[in-house]
Amino acid sequence: MLDLERLRQDTPGCLERVFLDSAGSSLPPQPVLSTVIGHLRREAEVGGYVAADERADDLAAVRGSIARLIGATPAAIALVDSATRAWCEFFGAVPLRAGDRILVSRVEYASNAITALHRARAAGATVEVVPSDPSGRIDLDALDRMLDDRVRLVSLVHVPTNGGLINPVREVVELAHRHGALVLLDACQSIGQVPIDVDDLGVDALSATGRKWLRGPRGTGFLYLRTELAGSLTPSALDLHGAEWISADDYRPAPDATRFELWECDVAARLGLGAAVDYLLGIGIDYAARAITDRADSLREGLGAMPGVEVRDLGVDRSGIVTFTVDGVDPALVREHLANNRITVTVSGRSSTLLDMSARGLDAVVRASPHYFVSDGDIEWVLRTLSTLR
């Protein structure tokens, strides 16, 4: 069971402020903090290599914890430094020829889109946008019509950066696989707040960050790769960790997803990511998901009842990301007003999700993303503070 008081005590940052930016970079809980700081201290005492050796078992366990969270095997997980790195590494390894097609959804994240366009341009491939249905989710009928045997990859954003939408995954995978296309799921905003089982969803690969809903340290992330793919895709960068140098003219890539990792890493942050995932496993993703949805729903309800405020979330099922605008008030000023009253939110601008924001005629939205450690009192304070804005 979620014991809110205990969770809040574990989260020093939430006692002084109302923190509504877990979609940006959340507040790590105490076990993550002490793991990271403890390891940095140890590195200062004995050096980075000895300190890492001392935690070899814990480091090896990080992959296992992530695997447990998403229903994968540890061999299917590569630890990297960001969701973008995970996305780019997988995307870069998918063979692409002139005439090939890549499909993205309307809520594609800017970095993914830029990477896709950059590579497609060099390969003579195309990047095409699957429209959204009237609810804002990826239009499955349109996707069905667009798929053919030249589509190499469908990139699906599970939860976009600019709103509460949750895209359907299994349905997209079924359609894509019928045409032999791979599905790369951007789970950057869903991991840690939406239960994910990769076998159940059937995705070929998944990219994720540690710093958002998982409450891990910055500079952490991971790539999940379907086991059968690990042996057939080669990353653009291979080092002595991702491969073995076996002769003057040969090398052998690792048999599993670790071929997508480089040897050097921030060991303290990686241990911190493991602590964050273990903390969530202790709470239970289903409890966490329900608590986050409760808080987001009550925030949306309060905002919806406020004159001059428009909730901008699309979709049918909604995540913990709540976006809104206030008539005649720049979102940056809304953020500032809230910050002056001890409330942290952020602004999601057009360039992050260019296609979706342009289609909806939006330049920016205020983004509030409450985690399970946010209290009812916090939400009331946010609504009261916003009512004094106008």
Ligand X SMILES: Cc1ncc(COP(=O)(O)O)c(C=O)c1O
- By rule CB under 6 A, what string of x and - marks binding of each residue 38-77 to ligand X? ----------------------------------------
**Does residue 83 belong to the site contacting ligand X (CB under 6 A)?**
yes
Q: Binders of ligand X: how many residues, by CB under 6 A?
A: 13
Q: Which of 82, 115, 167, 258 binds ligand X (CB under 6 A)?
A: 82
**Does residue 11 belong to the site contacting ligand X (CB under 6 A)?**
no
The residues that bridge with 51 in the sheet, in sequence order, are none
Select from 206, 201, 153, 150 the least CA-distant residue to 176.
Answer: 153
Taking the least distance from each CB to ligand X, the nearer of 161 and 258 is 161
Q: How far is the CB of 40 from ligand X (least distance, A)?
A: 21
**Does residue 348 belong to the site contacting ligand X (CB under 6 A)?**
no
- By rule CB under 6 A, what string of x and - marks binding of each residue 101-130 to ligand X? --------x-x-------------------
Q: Which stretch binds ligand X (CB under 6 A): 47-55, 81-89, 136-144, 191-199?
A: 81-89
**Does residue 28 belong to the site contacting ligand X (CB under 6 A)?**
no
Taking the least distance from each CB to ligand X, the nearer of 28 and 160 is 160
- Subset of residues 175 to 204 that bind ligand X, contact rule: CB under 6 A: 186, 188-189
Taking the least distance from each CB to ligand X, the nearer of 18 and 83 is 83
Q: How far is the CB of 245 from ligand X (least distance, A)?
A: 30
**Does residue 221 belong to the site contacting ligand X (CB under 6 A)?**
yes
Tokens for 60, please give them. 């090896």
Q: How far is the CB of 248 from ligand X (least distance, A)?
A: 37
Taking the least distance from each CB to ligand X, the nearer of 185 and 311 is 185
Q: How far is the CB of 253 from ligand X (least distance, A)?
A: 24
Taking the least distance from each CB to ligand X, the nearer of 189 and 323 is 189
The residues that bridge with 252 in the sheet, in sequence order, are 244
Q: How far is the CB of 109 from ligand X (least distance, A)?
A: 4
**Does residue 323 belong to the site contacting ligand X (CB under 6 A)?**
no
Taking the least distance from each CB to ligand X, the nearer of 209 and 258 is 209
**Does residue 160 belong to the site contacting ligand X (CB under 6 A)?**
yes
Taking the least distance from each CB to ligand X, the nearer of 19 and 109 is 109
Select from 175, 191, 170, 173 the least CA-distant residue to 183.
Answer: 173
- Residues interacting with ligand X, by CB under 6 A? 82-84, 109, 111, 157, 160-161, 186, 188-189, 209, 221
